[in-house]
Structure 1
Amino acid sequence: MELSVIDQWYRWGLIATTLILAVIDLILPTPNVWINGFFIVCMAGIVGYFTNFLAIKMLFQPKKGKVLGWEGLVPKNQAKIAISLGESIQTQLLAPDIILDYIYERNLIEIGIKKIVTWVDGLLKNQKFRNTVTTKLVSLLKEKGPEILSSTFNFSEEALKKIAKNPDEIKKYWELARNKILEYIQNQENREKIATLIIKVIKEEIPRLSKVLNEALEEYLREKKTIGGLGIGIKKLIAFDDDAIQELLEKFTEDPETSDQLLGVLDILVEEFRANLSSSETQEFIASKVEEWVSKAGNYARQNILPTTINKLEEYLDNENNWKQVEEYFFQSVEWIKIKVLDFINSTEGRGFLKAGIEKAIRQLNVTQLVEEQVMKLDTDELEKMILDNTGGNLVVIQFLGGILGMIAGLIQVNIAFSLPVFSLILITWVSHYRNKAKYVKKGEW
C-alpha cells in the first residue's frame, strides 16, 4: 500500500476517532477517565499531525494573493528558488569538471565516435538511402548548379581582382609561387623526370617532326638554286628522307649520352630560370601585368568557359544514366572525408583538438541559466508537484510522524507516569544516533 494512502487513512481515522470520543464524552452524564484519556491522546495527535500538514501547505498556499497577510513561500520566492537551484546544480551536480571527468572515465568520446562511424557506414551501405540522397543531390544540382557555378566564378574573379590591385598581395603570392617552382626544378629527381618527359614527347612526335625537318631541308636546298639542285640530288642519293630523319632522331633519344646532355642543358636552364624569376625586372613586369591578365582571363571565361560549363552540367544531369556516376562520386567523396576525419581524430593533434573543443563547449554551458529559465516556466501547481514528487514522499512521512509524536505527547498529558517510557524512548533514540555517528566518524566518513 502506498504511503499517501496510509497517510489519508490515518488522517481521517484520527479525525473520526477524536470526534466520536468528543461526542461520547459530551453525552455521558459523568466523566469517564478512559474516554477522556483517549480523547486527549487523539487530540494531541491531531495537533501534531496538522501542525506539520499546515506547515507544508504554507510552502505552496496561497498560490495567488494573500490570506491573512500570508503568501505561499514557494510562489513568492520562485525566482530566488530558480536561481538558487540552478547555482546548486551548476556547482555541485553538473559542474564542468564533474561532467568532463564523467566523459573521460567512461571513454564516452571514443564510444561516441565508434557509434557515429557505425551509423555512417550503415547509411553508406543502405541503397535506399543512397538513392534518396542521389535524387535530392541531382535535383539540387539542376536547380542550383548554374547559380553555384556563377557564384563560385564571381567570387574567384573578385578575389583575383582584389589581389591584382594590391602590390603587396601580388608580391606575396608571387614569392610563394616562385619558391614552389624553384623548389621543384632544383630537385635532381624532378629534373630527371622532366628530361624523361621531354624524351618521351620527342619519341611520340618523331614521325611528325621528321617530316617537318625533311620539308624544311628541301625548302632550304631549293632556295640555294644551283647548289640547292645539287643538294637535293645528293639528298635523294643518300636517301635522306622522312624515314632517315626519324631513324636519326630515334638514335638520338635512345642514346644514353642524350639524357646526360639533356640534364646538363636543364641544369643551365634551371639556373637561368631561377635568376630570371628572382630578378626585380620579372617581379615588376608580373606586377604590372597581373591585373590585365586577370581581367582578360575573367572576360574570356565569363563569355566562353562559364556558359559552356553550365550547358555541359545541365546536359549531364538530364541524362539519368549519369546519375549512378553522380552517386558513386558523391559517396566516394563522403567515404574519403570520413577516412580523413577519422585519421585526424585518431592522431595526437586531433585528439587534443577534439578534447579542447568539448571542454570549451561544456565550460560555456550555463546550467544555472538553463535551470532558472525552466523553473520560471512552471506554474505553481507544476512546481509544487515537482517538489513533492522529488521528495519521494518524505513530506508525507513528516505529517504522519507529527501525528504519532503528538499522540505520544498526549500520553504524558493524560498521566505523568507515561513520561517515563516516553523519555526512555527518547534516550534510546539518542544513544542509537550517537553510536551510529561515532562509527562513521571513526572511519572518517562522517
Structure 2
Amino acid sequence: MPQEPSSPPPVPEPDTPEPAVPAASVPEAREITRARARDLRDLLARYVRRHLPPRPPAHPRIEEPPRLVGTHARLLPFLRLVPLLLALLFGFSFVWDFPGMTATAFGRTLALDGLLRILSVSGLIGFATNWLAITMLFHPRRKRPVFGQGLIPAQRERIVYRLARAVSEELINEEIIKQKIEEHEIIPKYREMALRVTRGVIEDPGFRTELKALTADYVERVLASEAVRRRLNELIVQKIEEHAGDGLGGLALKAYRFLNEEDFKRRIDRAIHNLPASLDAVLDEFDHLLDRVPVLIEARAEDIEAWATRLVLGFVENLDVHTMIMSNMMQYDERRLEDLLKKTTNEQLNYIKYLGGVLGFFGGLVIWEPLLALAAFGALGLLLWTVDAALFRLTGR
C-alpha cells in the first residue's frame, strides 16, 4: 500500500518580543540602570573584539641556548667517579702500598713505599676542600650556632639588591623603555588602530541595531515607571529652583508656583511622560550622531596622540624598575635563590668540585717528589699552552 507523502513540519512563528515591564520602584530602576550599563559594556567589548585586526605574528620565543658539550662536559661523568676511586685507593693502601719498592728516573732512585696513600689522601683533600667551599656558598641556609650560615643566604638581601640594580641600570630601565616606544612608533600605530576599530564598530549595522534595542528597552522600562517619573519631577523642580536663584527669575518662578503649583508640576510631568513617546524620533537621530563620532575623533587625533604620549611616558618615568625587581626578588627564600643560581652554574660547580680531586691527586706527587714533579708539571703545562695557542691561531677562535 503506497504511503501518503508526509506533510512538511510546521514552521514555528517567530517569537514576538515581550513588552518591557516598567520599573515598579526607584531602587528597581537603579538595578535596571546597572544591568543596562553592563549590557552596554559587553556590547562594546563584543564588537570591538570583532573589529580588532588580526594579531601580528608573535615574536619567536628565544629558546634556551643549547648546552655546549665540550671536553669539560664530556669529562664530567668520569670525574664523578674520582672521589669513589680515591676512597678505594686509600682503602687499598692499607693492604698494599709498594712495600719496599723503588724506581729509577733520570738517574735518581725513587722510593715507592707509601705512594698510594699520599696520592689518595691528597686527592681526597682536594675534592673535600672544593666540595666544602661550594657547599658553604649555599649551606647552612639558616644560621647555626656552630656552623654559621652559607655565604649566599647570609648575604641574600645584598645579592638581591645588587642583582636588581644591575638589571635596572644595564638591561631594562625607564630610558630604554622610552627609547623603544619612540623607535617603534607604538603610540601612532595604536592611534591608527583605535580609529579603524572605532569606525568599524560604529558603522556595523548589527552594533547599531543592538544599541538602539538596548536604549529603547532602557527608556521604556525606566522612564515609563510612575515612581521614576515622580522622582524625576522632584529633581527637576529642585534643579530649576537652584538655577533660578533669588533674583528676578527666582521671584517670578516662586510667584508662578504660588499661583498655579499644580499646573507647574503637571507640565513637567507631561514632558517626562512624553519622553518614551518621542523615542522613535531620538533613535532616528542615532545614526546621524554615530556617524559624527569618527569625524570628531579624527579631528582631535593629534591631541589624542599627544595626550596618550604624555600619559604613557609619564607612566614610564614614574616606573621604578629597581624597586619592582627588588620587591619581587625579596620574596625569594634561601632555597629558591639557591635554585636560581644553580640553574646556570651547577654543572660548572660540579666540574670544579670533582676536578679538585684530580688536582689533589697530582698534587700528591709534589709531596712525594717535589723537584721532579714540579719539573714534569712545568714541562707539561708549557706543552699544553703551546698546543692551545697554535690551535687557537689556526681556527681563529
TM-score tier (shorter): 0.5 to 0.7
State the partner residue of 2:348: 397
1:72-83 correspondence runs (5 A): 72-83=150-161
The question of 1:303 aligning with 2:253 is answered: no
The answer as to whether partners of 2:191 and 2:305 remain within 8 angstroms in 1 is: no
The answer as to whether partners of 1:3 and 1:396 remain within 8 angstroms in 2 is: no
Residue deviations 1:125-150 (CA, integer Å, cap 9, x gap): 66776666666655655666687997
The question of 1:355 aligning with 2:313 is answered: no
1:254-403 correspondence runs (5 A): 288-292=247-251, 303-304=265-266, 306-314=268-276, 326=283, 329=286, 333=289, 336-345=292-301, 347=302, 349-389=303-343, 393-403=344-354
The answer as to whether partners of 1:49 and 1:399 remain within 8 angstroms in 2 is: no
AA of the residue aligned to 1:303 = K
TM-score after normalising by structure 1: 0.50
- Any unmatched runs of 5+ in structure 2? 1-65, 102-111, 366-372
2: CA distance, partners of 1:156 / 1:95: 58
State the partner residue of 1:417: 375
The answer as to whether partners of 2:123 and 2:363 remain within 8 angstroms in 1 is: no
Which residue among 86, 90, 113 is the counterpart of 1:22?
A: 90
State the partner residue of 1:214: none
State the partner residue of 1:96: 174
2: CA distance, partners of 1:150 / 1:20: 97
2: CA distance, partners of 1:382 / 1:109: 39
The answer as to whether partners of 1:134 and 1:327 remain within 8 angstroms in 2 is: no
State the partner residue of 2:138: 57
The answer as to whether partners of 1:90 and 1:367 remain within 8 angstroms in 2 is: yes
The alpha-carbon deviation at position 18 of structure 1 amounts to: 1.9
State the partner residue of 2:3: none
The percent identity for this pair of structures is: 11
The answer as to whether partners of 1:408 and 1:422 remain within 8 angstroms in 2 is: no
State the partner residue of 1:207: none
The answer as to whether partners of 1:65 and 1:71 remain within 8 angstroms in 2 is: yes
1:105-116 correspondence runs (5 A): 105-116=183-194
| CA gap 1:358/1:68 in 2 versus in 1, 3 angstroms | same
The alpha-carbon deviation at position 104 of structure 1 amounts to: 0.4
Residue deviations 1:258-308 (CA, integer Å, cap 9, x gap): xxxxxxxxxxxxxxxxxxxxxxxxxxxxxx424346768998998246534
The alpha-carbon deviation at position 397 of structure 1 amounts to: 1.2
TM-score after normalising by structure 2: 0.55
2: CA distance, partners of 1:7 / 1:142: 83
The alpha-carbon deviation at position 13 of structure 1 amounts to: 1.8
2: CA distance, partners of 1:327 / 1:72: 77
AA of the residue aligned to 1:356 = R
2: CA distance, partners of 1:68 / 1:379: 22
The question of 1:407 aligning with 2:361 is answered: no
| CA gap 1:71/1:38 in 2 versus in 1, 3 angstroms | closer
1: CA distance, partners of 2:332 / 2:128: 33
| CA gap 1:88/1:27 in 2 versus in 1, 3 angstroms | same
The alpha-carbon deviation at position 22 of structure 1 amounts to: 1.9
AA of the residue aligned to 2:345 = N
Residue deviations 1:371-423 (CA, integer Å, cap 9, x gap): 2332233444333333444xxx2343143135336523542431323430465
AA of the residue aligned to 2:355 = I
1: CA distance, partners of 2:240 / 2:388: 84
Aligned length: 297
Greater Cα radius of gyration, structure 1 or 2:
1
1: CA distance, partners of 2:332 / 2:256: 65
2: CA distance, partners of 1:381 / 1:301: 81
The answer as to whether partners of 2:90 and 2:120 remain within 8 angstroms in 1 is: yes
| CA gap 1:29/1:342 in 2 versus in 1, 3 angstroms | same
Give 3-state SS (helix, strand or coil) of 2:81's partner: helix
2: CA distance, partners of 1:423 / 1:156: 103
AA of the residue aligned to 1:340 = L
- Any unmatched runs of 5+ in structure 1? 166-287, 436-446
The answer as to whether partners of 2:120 and 2:361 remain within 8 angstroms in 1 is: no
The alpha-carbon deviation at position 106 of structure 1 amounts to: 1.1
The answer as to whether partners of 1:42 and 1:407 remain within 8 angstroms in 2 is: yes
Give 3-state SS (helix, strand or coil) of 2:149's partner: coil
| CA gap 1:413/1:375 in 2 versus in 1, 3 angstroms | same
The alpha-carbon deviation at position 103 of structure 1 amounts to: 0.5
| CA gap 1:99/1:420 in 2 versus in 1, 3 angstroms | same
AA of the residue aligned to 1:341 = I
| CA gap 1:26/1:357 in 2 versus in 1, 3 angstroms | same
